[in-house]
Amino acid sequence: MTPADRPFRSVLYIPGSKPRALEKARTLPVDAIIFDLEDAVAPDEKENARNTLAEYLTEGGYAPRQVIVRINGADTPWGRDDLATFARLSPDAILLPKVNGAGDVAAAAQSLTGSTRVWAMMETPEGILNAASIARAPAMGGFVMGTNDLAKDLGCRTRADRLPLMTALQTCLLAARAAAIPCIDGVFNAFKDEEGLRAECEQGRDLGMDGKTLIHPAQIAVANAVFAPKVDEIDLARRQIKAFEAAMAAGQGVAVLDGRIVENLHVDTARRTLAKHAAITALEN
């Protein structure tokens, strides 16, 4: 599996202060985990959470899930020690909250070694306006949409169609795609509302998001299903490739399948669908 094919259908936040959840995470069928030291941890618990999480990550047991640690901001009393502690443990990524510009990413990247990447929470108006340069910052590995903070800063209303957030979601997607990094959608807060979650996942998938950030294990199955290629998409991809190869062999640059044209760009999409399906199958077996 290449880094570009790696699935991020389900990305679960786990508070670094909750040993029971940290334990349980080793068994959950998620593609990635965000071990959180920021908003899910109360100020009095910050140092305990850092120590607890460092012990769990040192012990390991989270592969093949991607391990992402969300540290506190550099402007807080905990950010610097969080970064120093977790840079040493070489997670797949360090996730920075409330990134406003590429400089925030470059500063954190200086502390990292090896293959650890910096991911950015895209959740402030200034950060959204700077999305293109943040996506191209040193060691940048991916975007996570912080729709709660963004809604707070925008002063917008919560709506099921997320209309007030659409410009920000699509701006970040454009920036992520231009820099060839993943973009993961924000959380759905009502964790007992499965149908609401499904609708929001479908909307994120329609937009082009790679997956959904989650807050509770009950949300995993829906995100895994919605962000995986469907049986009919896999079937269509295979048939498009076959039809295009047959057309090429016959000296034609375009094939026709089910009454629609198939060009090389459709074949690229078809190959990406099959690569994603193969990567998910490899992860699950």
Pick out residues in 163-192 that bind ligand LIB3CWND (CB under 6 A). 186-187, 191
C-alpha span between 141 and 120 (Å, rounded):
8
Pick out residues in 186-225 that bind ligand LIB3CWND (CB under 6 A). 186-187, 191, 215-217
* Residue 40 makes contact with ligand LIB3CWND by CB under 6 A: yes
Q: In angstroms, what is the minimal distance from the CB of 188 to Mg ion?
A: 14
Pick out residues in 109-128 that bind ligand LIB3CWND (CB under 6 A). 121, 123
Nearest-CA neighbor of 160 among 203, 104, 129, 109? Answer: 203
- Tokens for 46, please give them: 């910050």
C-alpha span between 21 and 218 (Å, rounded):
13
| H or E element, residue 256 | strand 255-257
* Residue 26 makes contact with ligand LIB3CWND by CB under 6 A: no
Q: Which does 200 bind (CB under 5 to 8 A by kind): Mg ion, ligand LIB3CWND, none?
A: none
Nearest-CA neighbor of 104 among 67, 145, 133? Answer: 133
- Answer for which of 36, 92, 149, 185 binds Mg ion (CB under 5 A) is 149
Alpha-carbon distance values, 43 to 18, 37, 38, 76, 100 (Å) = 14, 10, 9, 10, 22
Q: Where along the sequence are the contacts to Mg ion (CB under 5 A)?
A: 123, 146, 149
The binding site for ligand LIB3CWND (CB under 6 A) comprises: 12-15, 20-21, 24-25, 36, 39-40, 121, 123, 146-149, 186-187, 191, 215-217
